[in-house]
Amino acid sequence: MGNAPSEPAPPSLELEKPWRKFDWRQKNELKKRLEEFSVSHPDVKCINILVAGQIGAGKSSFINSVNNTFQERMTSSALVDSCGGTSFTKELKVHRVRGVKGDLPFYLSDIMGLEAKILAGTLPEDVIKTIYGYVRDEYKFNPEMSISDKNQDYVNDPSLSNQAFCLVYVVDAKTVQYIDQGLIDKLKIIRHAISHDRIPQVIVMTKVDEACPLVKEDLRKIYTSKKIKEKMEMCSEAIGVPVNCIFPVKNYCEEIDVDDDVDVLILKAFDQIVNLANDRLRDRASE
């Protein structure tokens, strides 16, 4: 009897070389640069960055993860819910980024999650108003009615310090291919409204370790993973943000100690976000 035909080998999940160059040794350089950062506008002491996105994607966890990298320990300034289903964050909450030696010149504003349903989650109009500084910290969002100038939490004449100069969408890598059209439509309303002011828009793609077994085994394979590359391209096509403004990260979720590989991905994303925001702020000074 002859030998049974061998089964074809399963397709490889890994590319032969990284599709994006990344220096895994740059953590200390990035951290030092951000700790010594100077805001480009003389009237603004802290750059404000708005963090929005689908419910359960890890907005609050990303904010905590940024603080973890600078404080070199686990933090929980942004409360996180592990149950999911609806947005745990109900109000606007502005978080100062803090380091071991003191506060850094950055605010990360957490907002109620976006949902596909019409009268659920943050209204696109409220995201837009928050970006332009019309919403006061700790305002509780109403999914059925946008904030108006009749509300005590409405800021009638926002200063530059009230405004956000970069919008960060947080997207779950596991569910990129299943993003509901209703959610995409809401994101497009926001993108269209703020694009004429050239406000930078960045995507932070979370849960990469849950989306690809290769990355779960070794985070350093994030840029040789075919699956992560495909998901970033899907994300870019669906939302309209170019791939070079999409940053895959792993948030701190199960860990009790910080990790250099997790830190450097988060620091690189945050460094790009901060510089884009600062560039826009510098432009405002000359307008």
- What is the C-alpha to C-alpha distance for residues 24 and 261, in angstroms, rounded to an integer? 7
Q: Residue 98 carries which side chain, given as an amino acid letter?
A: R
Residues near 231 by beta carbon (within 8 Å), at least 6 away in sequence: 173, 176, 177, 205, 211
User: Which residue is it, tokens 């828009």?
Assistant: 201
- Domains: count for the chain: 1
Distance CA 131, CA 212 (A): 33
Average confidence (pLDDT) over 7-23 = 78
Neighbours of 98 (CB within 10 A): 16
- Domain holding 107: CATH number? 3.40.50.300
Per DSSP, the three-state class of 14 is: strand
Tell me: the pLDDT tens digits for 134-147?
A: 999 999 988 888 98
Is pLDDT above 70 for 1? no
Q: Is residue 281 part of a domain?
A: yes
Q: Is residue 280 part of a domain?
A: yes
Reported as a single tens digit per residue, the pLDDT across 257-275 is 899 999 999 999 999 999 9
**Residue 214: inside a domain, yes or no?**
yes
pLDDT band at 79 (very low <50, low <70, confident <90, very high): low
pLDDT of residue 74: 84
Q: Residue 194: which of 127, 263, 241 has the closest Cα?
A: 127
At 54-73, the pLDDT tens digits run 888 888 899 999 999 999 99
Answer for the pair 50, 164: CB distance below 8 angstroms, yes or no: yes
Q: Rounded CA gap, 75 and 256, in Å? A: 10
Query: pLDDT (tens digit, 9 = 90+) per residue, 244-258?
Result: 999 999 999 888 889
Please indicate, yes or no, if residue 118 is contained in any of the structural domains.
yes
Q: Look at residue 33 and tell me if it is in a domain.
A: no
Query: What's the average model confidence in pLDDT over 100-120?
Result: 82
**Among residues of the chain, what percentage have pLDDT more than 70?**
89
On the question of pLDDT at 45 being above 60, the answer is: yes
pLDDT at position 78 is 61
Confidence of residue 80 (pLDDT cuts 50, 70, 90): low
What pLDDT was estimated at residue 143? 85
284: its two tokens: 């405002």
Split at pLDDT 50, 70, 90, the class of 120 is low
Pairing between β-strand 93-99 and β-strand 102-110 as defined by DSSP bridges? antiparallel
Decide if pLDDT at 83 tops 70.
no
Strands (E), 100-251: 102-110, 167-172, 201-206, 246-248
The yes-or-no verdict on residue 132 having pLDDT over 60 is yes
Mean pLDDT of the region 187-214: 93
The number of beta carbons lying within 10 Å of the beta carbon of residue 82 is 7
Q: Which amino acid is at 164?
A: A
Instruction: Check whether 6 has a pLDDT greater than 60.
Output: no
Amino acid at 15: L
The answer to whether residue 191 sits within a structural domain is yes
Mean pLDDT rounded to a whole number for the chain: 88
Q: Are 190 and 199 in contact (CB under 8 A)?
A: no
Whether 6 is in a domain gets the answer no
115: confidence class by pLDDT, cuts 50, 70, 90: confident
Residue 285 in this model has a pLDDT that exceeds 80: no
Spatial distance between the Cα atoms of 141 and 130, rounded to a whole number of angstroms: 11
Q: Which domain holds residue 66?
A: 44-286
216 within a domain of the structure (yes/no): yes
Sorting pLDDT into bands at 50, 70 and 90, what band is 85? very low
